[in-house]
Amino acid sequence: MTSTEIAYAKINLALHVRRRGGDGYHDIETLFAFAEDGDRLTLADGPGLAIEGPFADGLSGEGDNLVTRAAKAFAATFGKAVHGFVLDKRLPIAAGIGGGSADAAAALRLLARVDGVDAEAPELMAIAASLGADVPACLLSRTTRGTGRGDRLVAIEDGELAGMPLLLVNPRVPLATGPVFAAWDQVDRGALPEGDPLAVAEVSRNDLEAPALKIDPRISEVLALLGAQKGTRLVRMSGSGATCFALFGTVEARDEASAAIGTKEPQWWQMPTKVRA
């Protein structure tokens, strides 16, 4: 039994913000998809959380880390010992691709596997929901339609999206979610259509892109450079940014785009991968 779990990077194929509720949270309609790659979480011999990897700086294994919160909630719910972890942080922080939510979800999946808990146990989803709006989708880590705060989920068929070559690009700009939502102009531009996820994404939008661009216009440079590459099917910012992504028709087109972007902007972070089926 493996003691390592991938915290799959999340992308929002589309994200429609419909309204702001009286509780301060926004009602959204979104299409979640996930990359085949991401951070890696491994069980440790002792308690606590050790963090390593290219984006370990700025994260602490102590205090209110979502992984440790997930581990404590799991132990309390199922009557198990509190496990420790080593987190290999490969995804940039505050980047719109899941981050801590994906790490917490990976911890729940890994703990369920090693402690013999049914992966479909409703208590796992309840813990995920208590940790944050994106954690339930990250727990599933498959193509899903989300409404409410993004935590009311319906799994959907991948269709053409399954296994599609995917390139994530971040200009190494951290962007907090709160200010981006706060900058949304509160204009409801309409519902997210139903249907095949790729077809829906192609006629949809990310309503957080405009406010994110106001906060940091450098995101437009990423979108423009991705959009200039050959073979793209969809180019969009993910979540509240600043990570942007492109879906490609072929692996060759993705890799050529990655090489071209790396030559022009060698300081930017990239992750060539595929959509997780």
pTM of the model: 0.96
Q: Are residues 137 and 163 in the same domain?
A: no
Task: Mark whether 146 and 203 lie in a shared domain.
Answer: no
Q: Are residues 191 and 140 in the same domain?
A: no
Q: How many folded domains does the chain comprise?
A: 2
Q: Which of 106, 131, 155 finishes a domain?
A: 155
Is 10 among the residues known to form the active site?
yes
Q: What is the 3-state secondary structure (H, E, C) of 88-129?
A: ECCCCCCCCCCCHHHHHHHHHHHHHHHCCCCCCCHHHHHHHH
Residues 172 and 44 in one domain: no
User: For residues 49 and 42, is the Cβ–Cβ distance under 8 A?
Assistant: no
Predicted confidence at residue 250, as pLDDT, reads 98
Residues of the chain with pLDDT under 70: 1, 60-64
**Can you give the pLDDT at residue 24?**
72
pLDDT of residue 121: 97
Q: What is the CATH number of the domain that holds 197?
A: 3.30.70.890
Domain identity same for 11 and 146: yes
Please check whether residues 37 and 72 belong to one and the same domain. Answer: yes
**What confidence score (pLDDT) does residue 266 get?**
98
| Residue span of the structural domain in which 202 resides | 159-274
pLDDT for 62 equals 57
Is 101 in the same domain as 119?
yes
CA neighbours within 13 Å on the CB side: how many for 269? 19
The pLDDT of residue 102: 98
Say whether both 128 and 219 belong to one domain: no
* C-alpha–C-alpha distance, residues 201 and 23, integer Å: 29
- My answer on whether 76 and 198 are in the same domain is no
Please identify, among 139, 155, 171, the residue that sits at the C-terminal boundary of a domain: 155
Query: In sequence order, what are the residues at sequence separation of 6 or more whose Cβ sits closer than 8 angstroms to the Cβ of residue 205?
Result: 14, 15, 16, 189
The pLDDT of residue 64 is 64
- Written as six digits, the tokens of 240 are 């509240």
10, 103, 207, 274: the catalytic one is 10
Radius of gyration (C-alpha) of the chain in whole angstroms: 18
Q: Which CATH number is 23's domain given?
A: 3.30.230.10
198 and 124 co-located in one domain: no
Same domain, 29 and 149: yes
The pair of structure tokens assigned to 20 is 């702001």
Give the CB-side neighbour count of residue 147, counting CA atoms within 13 A: 7
Q: Which of 37, 39, 88, 134 is catalytic?
A: 134
Is 115 labeled as catalytic in the residue annotation? no
Residue 1: what pLDDT?
60
Domain end, chosen from 155, 186, 208, is at: 155
Residues 169, 83 share a domain: no
pLDDT at site 85: 96
pLDDT value, residue 2: 74
